Structure 1
């Protein structure tokens, strides 16, 4: 999918180095899974700053790198001028925006129920999931441990709920979850 990162066409972009447009085939904030034509987001976490992994992402085939640290992005641009470097105020916000666009706003075709609280979320979610499925509504759910549709489940391998936006969008757009969206 082609994206135009020029500031004139995107209010969240402060500046760019390199080409203004790019053909992106994947989105990630994990430099270990970058491959050709991936947009890599430099996200600050509890233990690491994604800007530390720019060279790894560039070497693995990222064609777009999005971050907040202008000088770091500029220095990397000098070494990899063919890559589009996008400077933004908030990389997580841009990750959310691009994920929604990249996965065709799949979440808009869903009805959502959120379960919050300190204890009992998994139990309540399982109860709602069973109740709706037995009532004839096809459902899907995302929890800390697994993703479920109306017939089966699979491990999510994530430690927080909800997972970051690209992971949610990927999950919702897979055949596994689309099955739950059928009328």
Structure 2
């Protein structure tokens, strides 16, 4: 996907560098997963600040960087790697906007049911998934114990994945023929904008 297309979908403050006809191969917030032509998003976590790993991402082949702390990395570093510097107000929201568009707005192509609250999210999500499947509807599930694309079980690392991983997973569910997705939505995911831009059809508390 062309970087200019992604930039049209996110709220930027300033973009530095020559985009020309640049293609983006993927979106990553973990510098260890960056490959050539990746868009790296520097996000601040509870323990780790992604801005500290911008140089690692550039060394691994990132061609563009989204960041919300403009003075964190010297301008010369971007010039040395011929990389695009994209300054935004909130990196997490920008990552959600970019990944939603990159994966084709997958949540709009299925019926997404979000379940939040302190207790009972996992049990409720499995109840709903089973009811839908008994009705013959292929259903995806995103939650604490495992993720499911229909009957295919996937490892779950977070109750609600980061936005780029979430949109990638939703796209895989859509391509696999899922009509419904049941998703546990943690309080952390709401606070950290992980479900920003997700098109929920129903919400349960």
The verdict on a shared fold, with TM-score over 0.5 as the criterion, is yes
Equivalent in the alignment of 1:14: 13
- Report how many residues are paired: 178
- Quick one: which of 170, 176, 179 aligns to 1:179? 176
Gaps of 5+ in 2: 181-205
TM-aligned CA deviation for residue 147 of structure 1:
1.1
TM-aligned CA deviation for residue 72 of structure 1:
2.7
Q: How does 1:5-84 map to 2 (within 5 A)?
A: 12-20=11-19, 22-73=22-73, 74-80=75-81, 82-84=82-84
SS in 2 for 1:128: helix
SS in 1 for 2:117: coil
SS in 2 for 1:86: strand
Equivalent in the alignment of 1:155: 155
> Conserved in 2, the CA contact under 8 Å of 1:5 and 1:13?
no
TM-aligned CA deviation for residue 44 of structure 1:
0.4
> Conserved in 1, the CA contact under 8 Å of 2:139 and 2:149?
yes
Q: How does 1:80-95 map to 2 (within 5 A)?
A: 80=81, 82-95=82-95
> Conserved in 2, the CA contact under 8 Å of 1:6 and 1:13?
no
> Counterparts of 1:162 and 1:24 in 2: how far apart (Å)?
25
Give per-residue Cα distances to partners, 1:40-83, cap 9 Å, x unaligned: 00000011111100110000000011101222342422432x11
Give per-residue Cα distances to partners, 1:116-166, cap 9 Å, x unaligned: 11112111111111111011111111002311132231212x13x321110
Q: Say which structure is richer in helix.
A: 1
Structure having greater relative contact order (Cα 8 Å, sep ≥ 6): 2
Give per-residue Cα distances to partners, 1:81-140, cap 9 Å, x unaligned: x11110111111110111011001111101111111111211111111111101111111
> Counterparts of 2:77 and 2:47 in 1: how far apart (Å)?
22
SS in 2 for 1:51: helix
C-alpha change, 1:13 and 1:20, in structure 2 (3 Å) is farther
> Counterparts of 1:147 and 1:6 in 2: how far apart (Å)?
28
